[in-house]
Amino acid sequence: MGKLDGRVAVVTGAGSGIGLATARLFAGEGARVAVVDLRGEAAEDAARGIRQEGGEAIAVAADVSRPADAERLVEEAVRAFGALHVLHNNAGVLLPGTVTTISLEDWERTLAVNLTGAFLCSRFAIPRIIESGGGSVIHTASSAGLVAEKDIAAYCATKGALVMLTKQMALDYARDGVRVNCICPGWIDTAFNDPVIERAGGREALEPWLDAMVPMGRQGTPEEVASAALFLASEDSSLVTGHALVVDAGLTAQ
C-alpha cells in the first residue's frame, strides 16, 4: 500500500527539478498525477517516464499565471482521474535583481508565476478537493521567504507572501477538510538556481559560500524536498496545517 493510494494529485512546474521528483514520488506512492509544466514537451517526457515506471500520469501544458490555464489544468486532472485530492503549487521563476535593477517585466513575471499562479491554481482546485472529500494544498515557498538574500528582491517578496498565504488559507479551509502547508527549500541542486549562481561567479564561487553558510555544508537534492512534499500530502501529516516546513540543511537556523 502506497501512502497516496486512491489519491489524485496535480503538481505544477513538474517538468524538472523539485516538481519532477515530487510527481515521480507521488506516483510511486500510488497517486494518479497530472504533470503540469509551461513546457509541454517537458511535461510529456515526465508523464511518460512515470508511466514507464508503472505509475499513472497525464501531461498538461499550462501557464499557471493565466486564469484560463489554471482552470483548465484542474479540470483536465478531474476529467482524467475523476477526483482531486492534492495540489502542489510548485511552478516558479527566479529572476535576479534589486528593486532598482530588476526590470518591471521581470518583477511582474515573478509575481505572476510565483504568487498569482499559486492563488489561481488554488482558486480552481480547492472546490474540487472539497468535492473529493478533502485533501492537501502544498505551496513551494523558500528559505528566501523566511530570511532575505541579496539581489533577489522579487523572489524574496513572492516567497514571503506564499508563507503568509499558506497560513491564511489554512484558516479558511480547515473545516472543509483541506490542509494547506508550504515547503521552504534552501539551496537545492537544480538548474533553477543557475541565474543566481552565474551572477555570483559560477559554481566554483558557490562551494565556499555553501561550506561557510550552510550548517550541513551542501545543497539538497530534489528528492529530499519531494519527501517533504509527500509527508504534507499524505495522512502522515493529518494534524498539520498552516505550517512552513523548512528543508534547508540548517541555513535559516542560524
Report DSSP letters for 41-91, one per residue.
HHHHHHHHHHHHTT-EEEEEE--TTSHHHHHHHHHHHHHHHS---EEEE--
List C-alpha distances in Å: 179 to 51, 144, 170, 201, 232: 28, 23, 6, 41, 9
Catalytic hit among 26, 81, 119, 155: 155
Residue among 110, 120, 111 nearest 74 (CA): 120
Please check whether residue 59 lies inside any domain of the structure. yes
The Cα–Cα gap between 126 and 134 comes to 9
- DSSP summary character for residue 180: E
- Which stretches within 174-221 are classed as H helix? 194-199, 203-213
* Strands 8-12, 86-89: pairing kind: parallel
pLDDT tens digit string along 195-254? 777 776 777 777 887 888 899 999 999 999 999 999 999 999 999 999 999 999 999 998
User: CA 208, CA 217: separation in Å to the nearest integer?
Assistant: 9
- pLDDT in the model for residue 213: 86
What's residue 77's pLDDT? Answer: 98
Q: How far apart are CA 189 and CA 89, in angstroms?
A: 19
Average pLDDT of the segment spanning 180-186: 98
pLDDT higher than 90, residue 17: yes
**In the block, residue with C-alpha cell 515506471:** 53
Q: Considering the domain boundaries, does residue 1 fall inside one? A: no
Tell me how many helices (H) and strands (E) the chain has.
9, 7
- Assigned domain for 3 exists: no
Identify whether 65 is part of a domain. Answer: yes
The pLDDT score that the predictor gives to residue 196 is 72
Give the range of the structural domain holding residue 162, as residue numbers without chain letter.
8-253
Number of domains within the chain: 1
Task: Note the maximum CA span of the chain.
Answer: 53
Is 173 a known active-site residue?
no
Q: Is the pTM of this model over 0.75?
A: yes
| Cα distance between residue 139 and residue 90, in whole Å | 6
DSSP conformational letter for 220: B
30-89 tens-digit pLDDT: 999 999 999 999 999 999 999 999 999 999 999 999 999 999 999 999 999 999 999 999
Cell of 244: 512552513
Residue 134 has pLDDT above 80, yes or no: yes
In a domain, 156, yes or no: yes
Task: Look up the CATH number of the domain holding residue 129.
Answer: 3.40.50.720
Q: Is residue 2 part of a domain?
A: no
- The grid cell for 116 is 498569482
